[in-house]
A and B are shown apart, each in its own frame.
Chain A
């Protein structure tokens, strides 16, 4: 069953760089990889999006290898306020050629002081 896979949880400390990887073996050829952040009792919020290589914005970087079967969200110098659940979202092409946008199950990131 084509799907996305992320670690269930991760811990880190303030000031560290955190990398969260999502695997997506069946990513559709022309689709983007998007990461969202979710705080408790809130809806997900867009963080970053990319198609290939590397994308950087004011809050994160996204690394995508040439085969695009995985992607890594990088959060530089995290703070306590980065404690949240992080989701990857990709378009996947299934065996029957059906296309769906699939959310990962989410990675719960806990930042410690």
Chain B
């Protein structure tokens, strides 16, 4: 049982390049999330998914797209990377989306955009 895994762990992009971050969970969770974490700002929700084939915008969705083609995978795409997207990205999953439901996090992807 690997929990939540993320690939890659590190990436450096040049402005304007694109990339996809992959998140996978093996806990059969319905809900999956993508967060970004910047110094002094805690975690901010980018996009989330309430089930296979569905996605929704979070707090800071601009510049990102997501897809949930399979229940266990949640992809985060950057079509044209900008330096403001330099951050640590965390994927999480949970059984439901209420405040009661604990979230399980991946180890993170550190992205630098130059």
Beta-carbon contact of A28 and B59 below 8 Å:
no
Chain B: which residue is nearest A101 at the CB level?
A: B99
Query: Which chain A positions have C-beta within 8 A of B105?
Result: 43-45
Q: A97-113: which residues lie under 8 A (CB-CB) from chain B?
A: 100-101, 103-106
Beta-carbon contact of A87 and B42 below 8 Å:
yes
**Whole-angstrom distance between the alpha carbons of A105 and B99 in the complex?**
17
**Whole-angstrom distance between the alpha carbons of A32 and B100 in the complex?**
5
B78 in the interface (beta carbon within 8 A):
no
**Whole-angstrom distance between the alpha carbons of A107 and B104 in the complex?**
20
By the criterion of a CB under 8 Å from any partner CB, how many residues of chain A are at the interface?
23
Question: What is the minimal beta-carbon distance from A59 to any residue of chain B, in angstroms?
Answer: 14
Question: What is the minimal beta-carbon distance from A1 to any residue of chain B, in angstroms?
Answer: 12
Beta-carbon contact of B108 and A43 below 8 Å:
yes
B32 in the interface (beta carbon within 8 A):
no
Beta-carbon contact of A106 and B107 below 8 Å:
no
Beta-carbon contact of A46 and B103 below 8 Å:
yes
Query: Which chain B positions have C-beta within 8 A of A90?
Result: 99
Beta-carbon contact of A42 and B108 below 8 Å:
yes
A31 in the interface (beta carbon within 8 A):
yes
Beta-carbon contact of B108 and A105 below 8 Å:
no
Kindly supply a per-residue 1/0 record for chain B positions 31-51, scoring 1 wherever the CB is within 8 Å of any chain A CB and 0 otherwise: 000000000111111000000
Query: Which chain A positions have C-beta within 8 A of B41?
Result: 105
Question: What is the minimal beta-carbon distance from B107 to any residue of chain A, in angstroms?
Answer: 6
Beta-carbon contact of B99 and A91 below 8 Å:
yes
- Give the contacting residue for A104; candidates B42, B98, B108; CB below 8 A: B42
List 10 extra interface pairs beyond A44-B43, A106-B42, CB under 8 A: A31-B100, A32-B99, A49-B100, A49-B102, A89-B99, A101-B99, A103-B42, A103-B43, A103-B44, A105-B41
Instruction: Supply 13 A–B pairs (Cβ within 8 Å), ascending by A.
Output: A28-B99, A31-B98, A31-B100, A43-B92, A43-B107, A44-B103, A46-B103, A49-B100, A89-B99, A91-B99, A100-B59, A103-B42, A105-B42
Residues of B within 8 A of A (CB): 4, 40-45, 59, 90, 92, 98-100, 102-108
